[in-house]
Amino acid sequence: MSRFRVLQFNMQFGQTWSDADPDRAPIRLDDTLAEIRRHEADFILLQELERAGPAGVQVQPPLNYTRLCRELNGYHGWFSYPKADPRELPFGIGLAIFSRTALQDAFRLELPSPHIEFNFHGRSTTPTDRVLIGARTSIDGRELELLNVHLLAFFMLGSSSTQHPFQRNLVAERLVAARGPTILAGDFNVSRLDTLVQQFADKGFTPVQQTEVTWRRRPYVLDHIFYNSPLRCVAHKVVPTLASDHHALVADFEFVD
């Protein structure tokens, strides 16, 4: 495998997109699977696999992840929910990495959220914590580290991750610890990219693109694939899809000799 393909996709627990009423669009995991399969990626990094239940209940085993494991033949998987919390809102939670090659040294890193009060359906609450997951794999004798993250959407709370950089800083610290070729993908939920891109550039990581919108609800570039200097990005594209409120981001890489 001299080249390999990475798919970054916030699948919004299988909820499809409807221009007329996006919040009530039907959930069709078959559409999610079709979107994932059509890219023929070697590594698949997904966010919002499951929908949080009432009072933050996390179904065990996770239903969507379990089905993806069954349907995605030939892939190895690693999944984690964020820390369980009764404040969790009824949106998508949970991260997964799927790999055509065996995964090892899987881990999770807690990303605490700050105490910012906001109103949700007439109730005052504060945001729950997020999580970063990672694992290592080997491609034709070359090691590769895969990192997947879903950060808090501060812009939805009238703030920004520049004002509250703790989660980003923890991710940046993990980039410093990366050994060799590393991919970091995810939904970074940053509406203004300059500071994020510069922060990760200071750690040796570059985004495959930062101009094409990846979210349907607002014209923001939220989804990214970052990579470091032992890798070369040879192709990338944002692929519009109706299988989620996020578009798919696909990138092809090769190792730098």
How many domains does the structure of the chain reveal?
Answer: 1
**First CA to last CA distance, the chain:** 14
Beta bridge partners of 218: none
Q: Which two tokens stand for residue 87?
A: 């404040």
Residues 6+ apart with CB under 8 A from 170: 109, 111, 132
Beta bridge partners of 215: 246
Mind listing the pLDDT tens digit for each residue in 33-43? 999 999 999 99
> What's the mean pLDDT in 40-58?
97
Mind listing the pLDDT tens digit for each residue in 65-105? 999 999 999 999 999 999 999 999 999 999 999 999 999 99
The residue ranges of DSSP E strands in 25-171, in sequence order, are: 43-51, 76-80, 92-99, 104-111, 118-120, 123-125, 130-139, 142-150
Nearest Cα to 64, choosing from 43, 76, 47?
A: 47
* CATH number reported for the structural domain that contains residue 171 in this entry: 3.60.10.10
State which residues form the domain around 164: 3-255
